[in-house]
Amino acid sequence: MPDVPDVTLEGLYGQMVLDHCRNPRNNVPLDAPDVEAEEFNPFCGDRVIYQLKLDQWGRVSGASARSEGCSIIRASASMMAELSTGRTLPELQGLSDSVRGMMQGRGIGDRPAADLGDLNALQAVRQYPVRIKCALLPWTALEVGVEMFLARQG
């Protein structure tokens, strides 16, 4: 079985989640991003702005996820941005599908758990169904941003 972090995580706020919350990765705005989307949850005040810069081969050369709100959204956004660099948009869409599956208890498809890296720590959020939306809001921004980019490309 793959090496997956303990999902009890001392409750909702495990070490990995707290580390990403306190030390967010890739949270500096990008100049002239190719992909950008902002999502807001008016019920709790969570907000995320996700940006990507693509290289000439369609791989992510820069990622930014700036978030406001609870520790869960801030950690999820940081983890997402960290895993974005070097991937193509279809690869990011597949990663998003896997994260949604994990958060909704459907599994991650045929993707090895190791591919999710730090995101595995978010499995603990499933124990608190009302918080799943917090973890998924950054992924909604990714999905919306990619969809808008692809629509512009025609």
Taking residue 119's Cβ as centre, other Cβ atoms within 10 Å add up to: 25
Residue extents of the structural domains in the chain: 15-153
Q: Hey, what are 134's tokens?
A: 């917090």
Architecture of domain 15-153: Alpha-Beta Complex (3.90)
Q: What one-letter code names the amino acid at 87?
A: R
Residue 114 and residue 126: Cα distance in Å, rounded?
A: 19
Whole-angstrom distance, CA of residue 102 vs CA of residue 151:
28
For the whole model, what pTM was predicted? 0.87
Determine contact, residues 67/74, Cβ cutoff 8 Å. Answer: yes
For residue 10, the 8-state DSSP code is T
pLDDT tens-place values along the chain, 154 residues long:
344 444 443 555 678 888 888 899 999 999 999 999 999 999 999 999 999 999 999 999 999 999 999 999 999 999 999 999 999 999 999 999 999 998 888 877 777 676 788 888 888 888 888 899 999 999 999 999 999 999 998 7
